[in-house]
């Protein structure tokens, strides 16, 4: 009996709690893993890009953290990738996870555009991650995502 004293139990549970807390903290600091992309979004990505991986970086996505009106949410996508004749951003894709139509828009660009920058206004049904994916002429994919909290539904 002495091995399972109250003191032992308190120590053990305290340590276990501490271990869990440390893991939680570590997870908070770490970048979000790829596999947090919902299944339905993965299907859309697969349809658009096949098995090509989307890497993080080179894309700046500007969206509000809270959108008061889901019918008009401003979105700005910018990339520092070159727009030269031999290598340029050929498309900018906009995806909203929780919208009826996940692949919201595609902006096909040419070197004539000069700078990979697109700004528009979109509808959002509910709080959701918004994803911007940039496709270069040599097939590389770069992406960024941000969460937008929606207070008024914009899709019916």
Partner 1 sequence: MTIEVGAARVLVPTGIRRGDVIDVRALVEHPMATGLFRDARGNPIPAYFINDVSVTYGDREAAHFVWSSGISRDPFVEFSLRADREAPLTFTWKDNKGGVFTQTVDIKFVA
Q: Which residues bind partner 1 (CB under 8 A)?
A: 71-73, 83, 96, 99-101, 103-123, 154-156
CB of 89 to partner 1, least distance (A): 11
For partner 1, the closer CB: 67 or 144: 67
For partner 1, the closer CB: 11 or 108: 108
CB of 98 to partner 1, least distance (A): 11
For partner 1, the closer CB: 111 or 149: 111
In this structure, which long-range contacts are made by residues 19-26, counting pairs with CB atoms below 8 Å and at least 24 apart in sequence? none
- CB burial of 15-37 (b: ≥16 within 10 Å; e: otherwise) equals eeeeeeeeeeeeeeeeeeeeeeb
Distance, in Å, from the CA atom of 99 to the CA atom of 90, rounded to the nearest integer, reads 25
CB of 37 to partner 1, least distance (A): 19
For partner 1, the closer CB: 56 or 147: 147
Tokens of 124: 């959002």
Check if the beta carbon of residue 123 is closer than 8 Å to that of residue 154. Answer: yes
CB of 114 to partner 1, least distance (A): 3
Closest among 132, 121, 70, 67 to 95, alpha carbons compared = 132
């Amino acid at each position: 009996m002495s091995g399972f004293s109250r003191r032992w139990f308190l120590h053990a549970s305290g340590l276990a709690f501490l271990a869990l807390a440390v893991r939680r903290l570590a997870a908070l600091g770490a970048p979000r893993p790829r596999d947090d992309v919902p299944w339905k979004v993965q299907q859309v990505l697969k349809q658009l890009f096949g098995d090509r991986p989307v890497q993080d970086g080179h894309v700046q996505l500007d969206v509000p953290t809270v959108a008061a009106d889901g019918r008009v949410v401003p979105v700005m996508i910018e990339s520092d990738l070159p727009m030269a004749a031999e290598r340029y951003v050929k498309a900018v894709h906009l995806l909203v996870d929780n919208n009826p139509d996940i692949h919201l828009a595609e902006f096909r660009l040419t070197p004539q555009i000069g700078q990979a920058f697109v700004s528009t206004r979109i509808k959002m049904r509910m709080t959701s991650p918004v994803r911007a994916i940039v496709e270069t002429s040599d097939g590389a994919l770069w992406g960024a995502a941000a969460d937008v909290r929606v207070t008024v539904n914009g899709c019916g």
